[in-house]
Structure 1
Amino acid sequence: MPTVGVGDVADGDFLLDVREDDEWAVGHAEGALHIPMSEFVARFGELTEAAPQDGKVYVICRSGGRSAQVTMYLAQQGVDALNVDGGMEAWAASGRPLVNDEGQPGAVL
């Protein structure tokens, strides 16, 4: 499965966050698309509408397990998806910004 490190995700890359609502509310990458893994298949159309047609989709969760599963599913659907290794824990540890639902500095739950 294609995997990249947090440092390989550039500003402006399409980031898909598959964590659950409570995790997202506490902290997420600004500009990411949020579709929880538990709702992903039912909401797949939202991704196809929002994602760039010929670009990569960087998939992230808390530590990399759920995003790996979604990345495999997306690859089977013909989407150029990459799992972000270490997830939001690695994102935060690397100093990348997080915001909460109020637009204030966030954290990883």
Structure 2
Amino acid sequence: MEHISAAEAIELAAGESVLLDVREQWEWDQGHAPSARLLPMSRLEELASELPEDATLLVVCHSGQRSLQVTDALERAGYHAINVDGGMLAWQAAGGEIVTDGSQPPAV
């Protein structure tokens, strides 16, 4: 399984890669990366078919545990998924932007 640091993820998320936040809606509401798309781990089976098949998927959660599981599942399903080590805690510590504007997540 491929892993990257939060600092690397910040750079990649500014480009062509898709940042997938696999936390739950209430966690998203407390703060998320502005470019992230919400795909709660609890809805992975239901929503995975809506993911772009040709994109690099950067998978992030709160601290990095759920994202490990989701990254593994996505890789087994044929997606190019990369786990963001340390999750949103590391993202914020690395200087990644966090928004808490109450915006609805963009469609997966």
TM-score (norm: length of structure 1) = 0.84
Question: Which amino acid counterpart does residue 66 of structure 1 have in structure 2?
Answer: R
**Residue 24 of structure 1: aligned partner:** 28
Equivalences for 1:36-47 in 2 at 5 Å?
36-47=40-51
Distance 1:42 1:3 in 2: 25
Aligned residues: 99
Structural RMSD (CA):
1.3
Structure 2 distance, partners of 1:55, 1:35, is 15
Q: What are the Cα deviations for residues 14-48 of structure 1, in whole angstroms up to 9, with x where unaligned?
A: 1000001110001001121101001111111222x
Tell me which protein shows more helix as a share of its residues. 2
Structure 2: tracts of 5 or more residues without a match: 104-108
Task: For 1:54 and 1:19, locate their aligned partners in 2 and report how far apart those are by CA, in whole Å.
Answer: 23
Give the C-alpha shift of residue 89 in structure 1: 0.2
Shift >4 Å, 4+ stretches: none
What letter matches 1:75 in structure 2? E
Residue aligning to 1:74: 74
Residue in structure 1 matched with residue 88 of structure 2 by the alignment = 88
Q: Deviations over 1:27-75 (max 9, x none)?
A: 001121101001111111222xxx3x43310000001100000000000
**Secondary structure in 1 aligned to 2:7?**
helix
Identity over aligned residues, as a percent? 44
